[in-house]
Chains A and B, each alone.
Chain A
Amino acid sequence: MSEETKEYAYFLGCITPNRYPGIEVATKKVFKEFGIETKEMEGASCCPAPGVFGSFDMYTWLPIAARNLAIAEEMGLEIYVTCNGCYGSLQEADHLLKEHPKLKEKTNEILGKFGREYKGTTEVHHSIVIMHDDIGLDRLKEKVTKPMKDVNVAIHYGCHFLKPSEVRGHGSSETPYILEDIVKAIGAKDVDYKDKLMCCGAGGGVRTADTPTALEWTRQKLVSMIEEGADCVIHPCAFCHLQLDRGQYEMNEAFGTSFDLPVLYVLQLVALAMGFSEKELALDQQTTKMPEKLLK
């Protein structure tokens, strides 16, 4: 990508703006440093969550997602997201609607009730792909003022960023590389651990219906990170952030454990490495606390 300014519509979803706005701020700040401007999507809604609303009624899931896509189309912009759920939902809906003209027609009958139309003129990107592919690792390295030396990072991919790989197109879901590359570019070390590719346990309505089960799932994953000496866990998904961060408080309450493994959206760790402060990124206002190692 050239050095000139590029504009995107930021699809916020629910968890980012309504639970962890630090993710929103970090992404906007980092992107601005690289000449990427963010426009708000007025009137956007829940994506809606693919494993939740997609599980309840896919005929409701699709037009809601299409309406969100139509908002970006009206702005004439492509979309970026900071949540795997949003990515999964919007990208899958866009894919289905582009593939099946009849489905598009039916969907537009509903959107037409309030004067909107899905045309198929936008694209859905994950913010970490913009970081990795468009900004690129070389330009990222140039902006790192506080390299994350001696920091062991456990990478958690979540589900819908990589899978289904036939739609996502980020290579094999068994051998991912994007977050590993970003972690190395900011001077940190990625540590391999037993359950690296396991999901966080919250998706598909499991957290909603049975929180203790979702927490047990997350607990097993955290233990395997800690066993390998992780100083923090990074991820590309606001919903995973909720489960991993808030979940540690919940599991300490429920199981009498004392977990305190710092959780960061990957661009929050990048922002720290670029010199932004803990406070600016709201990392002092979540459950897990940031250690000195990440802040100095």
Chain B
Amino acid sequence: MGTLVEDLIEWGGGVLGEEHMETLMSCVQCGKCTGGCPSGRITALRTRKLFKMAQENMVEEIFNAPELWYCTTCYTCYERCPKGVKCTDIIRTIRNLAAKAGHMSVPHRKIGVYALKTGHGVPIGPDQMKIRESIGLDEMAPTTQKYKEQLEQFQTICKETGFDALIDFDWDKMNLKE
């Protein structure tokens, strides 16, 4: 393990490209990202501060900061940064590392449970089946929640990548452990 910046470049770089992640070092603390951030209006999220903390390797403080999870990934900051810092993707990558270090809320882990059980973050319920039928659709769309063998492909991906372990999923209970 290196510094937070090194870890971010390595982890995010593997998917988004290293150059993308290295833009974090171009942040000059101008605050334009924070000025346009809709979350900052009503939450403690301050993107400028977050990037400073990342540059200064304040790992524990960032991973434990509740505001890390108050970004909606709206990409306003990303679009407006005059230095080309890929703000939103850096935030997503910090979250990946925080999740790996065990900082993932129960509601977020539960979305993972829905996904592992049905292949959908938001599965269907009986009321919606009725609505579908009333407008001439099949009661269920032909997705992973309808076909077991297709769902198994989705589950295979999650086992291969360790997503099941990330959320602490119990395959016997088909729910979170504990």
Give A216 to B124 CA distance when docked, in angstroms: 26
Question: Does B76 count as interface, using CB distance less than 8 angstroms?
Answer: yes
User: Bound complex: CA of A67 vs CA of B150, how far in Å?
Assistant: 10
User: What is the CA–CA distance of A201 and B45 in the complex, to the nearest angstrom?
Assistant: 13
B16 on the A face (CB < 8 A):
yes
Q: Is the CB of B135 within 8 A of A281?
A: yes
Select A55's contact among B38, B41, B96, B151, beta carbons within 8 Å: B96
A15→B143 CA distance, assembly (Å): 13
Inter-chain CA distance A197–B37, complex, in Å, is: 11
B1 at the interface (CB under 8 A from A): no
Q: Is the CB–CB distance between B150 and A203 below 8 Å?
A: no
Find the A residue at minimum CB distance from B17.
Answer: A100
Measured as residues with beta carbon below 8 angstroms from the partner, the interface class of chain A is 35 or more
A209 to B71, CA, bound (A): 11
Check B111 for interface membership: any CB of A closer than 8 A: yes
Interface residues of A in 1-36 (CB under 8 A from B): 12, 14-15, 17-19, 21-22, 24-25
With A62-B15, A213-B70 given, is the CB distance from A54 to B79 under 8 Å?
no
A53, B115: Cβ atoms closer than 8 Å:
yes
A155 at the interface (CB under 8 A from B): no
Answer yes or no: B53 CB below 8 A from chain A CBs.
no
- A273-290: which residues lie under 8 A (CB-CB) from chain B? 279-282, 285
Contact A67-B143, Cβ < 8 Å, known A52-B111, A56-B112: no
* Chain B residues in 8 Å Cβ range of A44: 143-144
Task: Name the B residues within 8 Å of A214 (CB-CB).
Answer: 72
A212-228 vs B, Cβ < 8 Å mask (1 yes, 0 no): 01101100100000000
Q: Does B14 contact A (CB under 8 A)?
A: yes
Q: Nearest CB to that of B100 among chain A residues?
A: A57
Chain B residues with CB under 8 Å of A187's CB are: none
B79 and A203 contacting across the interface, CB-CB below 8 Å: no
CB-CB < 8 A to A15: which residues of B?
122
- B141:A59 contact, CB within 8 angstroms: no
A63 touches B161 (CB 8 A): yes
Q: Which residue of A lies closest to B68 (CB)?
A: A55
In the complex, are the beta carbons of B38 and A198 less than 8 A apart? Answer: yes
Assess whether B128 is in contact with A21, with CB atoms less than 8 Å apart.
yes
Contact A55 B163 (CB under 8 A): no
The answer to whether A135 has its CB under 8 Å from any CB of chain B is no
Residues on the A chain within 8 Å of B99, using CB: 55-57
Q: Which residues of A contact B14 (CB under 8 A)?
A: 59, 103
CB distance from A45 to the nearest CB of B (A): 4
How distant is the Cα of A217 from the Cα of B72 in the complex, in angstroms? 11
- A37 CB → nearest B CB, Å: 16
What mask results when residues 99 to 135 of chain B are scored 1 for a CB within 8 Å of chain A, else 0?
Answer: 1100011011011100100011111110010011011
Q: Judge whether A205 and B69 touch: CB under 8 Å.
A: yes
A25 to B114, CA, bound (A): 25
Q: Which residues of A contact B91 (CB under 8 A)?
A: 55
Q: Is the CB of B147 within 8 A of A42?
A: yes
CB interface residues, A 110-128, toward B, < 8 Å = 110-111, 113-114, 116
Q: Which of A14, A58, A111, A282 contacts B134 (CB 8 A)?
A: A282
Please name all residues of chain B whose beta carbon is closer than 8 Å to the beta carbon of A213 when the two chains form the complex: 42-43, 70
A selection of 10 A-B contacts at a CB cut-off of 8 Å is: A19-B122, A50-B73, A56-B104, A110-B156, A110-B157, A198-B38, A202-B72, A204-B71, A206-B70, A281-B135
